[in-house]
Chain A
Amino acid sequence: MHRRGGGIAALQRQEQSQRSFVELSHALSESQVDHLHAQLTHFRTALARFAATHRHSIRRDPAFRHAFQQMCSSIGVDPLAGPRKGGWWAEMLGMADWQHELGVQIVDVCVTTRDRNGGLIDIAELIRLVTKLRGLADGAIDEDDVIRSIKTLQPLGAGYHVVDIAGRKMVRSVVKELDHDQTVILAIATQLGGRIVPDVLIERASWSHDRAAAALENMLTRDGLCWVDDQDELSGRAYWVPSAIKWDE
């Protein structure tokens, strides 16, 4: 069997071929990366063209914007992330900085969940939904981000506000002020998983029956902050505070 050459020459030869291989592999991966870059650029251009063509709809129509964001997150593009501060969203849609963008998504979540929580959402739930909407890892947005964003929304006068109810931070997205009685009701309902009847308020808050009944009826009919169940086994008629209900999806 022919032995591979020993000595200095062979060693140099081996080194030489190894170098060549390294170079070749560099060249290969470089071309792959280039190819990926080209694809990415192509994709960004397509997305940018789409955003530019539909800019008006994205900005005006919440349902369309929501669908657009879902599309972005399903293909792993965060419309708010980008090379520039303010991100791609700002670049394409002419909207302001990151804080405002987060605000947009907060509004989006608040509006789409309003029919099931009456315009009052637990801040942890809000963060969970915004994170999901953006397709980010858990913990990418924190409570401070949300609170700051909501402050930037205040000049719009849309009524977004962080309120403290029995130690839980909630975001209110309805213009109405919560009066004292409503705050008490929300706090008690939260401890009870959502269901509430006048008797509970009489017992826990020592209200008169009339006060308890009136406060609940107002929340139900006037403000849409709670729901009624006419088939309650114990009381016949029970009230449910949707923002205090735990939903599993």
Chain B
Amino acid sequence: MAFTTHTTPSGFLLPSIHSAPPFFSQQPNKTTLASFTDHWIKLILAYARHRRLFYLHVEDAETSGNDWDEVLKNERINRHVLPVYLEHIMGVMVEKNLAAFEPARQTRSVMLYWRLPEEWAETLHEWATSTGHLNTIMTFYDVTDPPIESPLSSIPVALLRKAIGILTKTNRAQLIAAADGEGVRFFSK
């Protein structure tokens, strides 16, 4: 018996360690745990990027039929990440600034940074510049649901607000309170 890589129906290549049964349990040895957790973090972020997923919940490991089935479970060997362990992994991700608890003040749900907020800020500004949206007021909805799909389509508002906050510091954006919610105005550099 050998452990091999596996390509999921969505076209994602799982590493060979994903077919090892112990990979799904929390390891008691510190070094082993750190190494397994690193593997998990890489895997989670790569998959999130592959499927454009922004959120991960502890419940995703407990239930079936959600976006994370291909990674948090391995039906070929009948294993799934134990929820306690997933919560630990999420904690480490937040520590390393690769995710943030969302909403705040709980530890069972995170927003994933497969791009850092700083990178999202640049992507956002580039998009606004290249589509001629400088100096006009846009609602958040205009950004998250543009008529033509953009790199920012379906970005969570919490993440969008962070990115705008970063642009505000360099005077490249301004947050505007509009009647029906919030808006943003971009400026050239």
Contacts and interface: CB of A to CB of B under 8 A. Distances in A.
Nearest to A193: B1
A124 to B, nearest CB: 14
B41 to A, nearest CB: 14
Interface string A205-240: 000000000000000111110011111110000101
Nearest to A232: B21
Given A227-B27, A230-B82, A233-B78, A240 B2 contact: no
A222 B31 CA distance: 10
Contacts of B2: 246-248
Interface string B24-36: 1111111110010
Nearest to B84: A230
Contact of A249 (B1, B5, B20): B5
Residue of A231, A245, A249 contacting most chain B CB atoms (<10 Å): A231
A203 B123 CA distance: 62
B12 interface: no
Contacts of B26: 230
A116 interface: yes
B18 to A, nearest CB: 12
Nearest to A221: B28
A3 B81 CA distance: 89
Interface residues of A, number: 24
Contacts of B25: 227-231
A247 B82 contact: no
B4 interface: yes
A231 B3 contact: no
A248 B16 contact: yes
A195 B1 CA distance: 11
A164 interface: no
A181 B28 CA distance: 20
A74 to B, nearest CB: 20
B28 A228 contact: yes
Given A228-B25, A228-B27, A230-B82, A246 B5 contact: no
Nearest first, the 3 closest Cβ-Cβ pairs linking A and B are: A115-B35, A227-B22, A246-B2
Given A228-B22, A247-B3, A249-B5, 19 more contacts: A115-B31, A221-B29, A224-B32, A228-B25, A228-B28, A229-B21, A229-B24, A229-B25, A231-B21, A231-B79, A231-B80, A238-B21, A238-B22, A245-B3, A246-B1, A246-B2, A247-B2, A247-B16, A249-B16
13 contacts: A115-B32, A193-B1, A221-B28, A227-B32, A231-B24, A231-B25, A231-B80, A233-B78, A238-B21, A240-B21, A245-B3, A247-B16, A248-B16
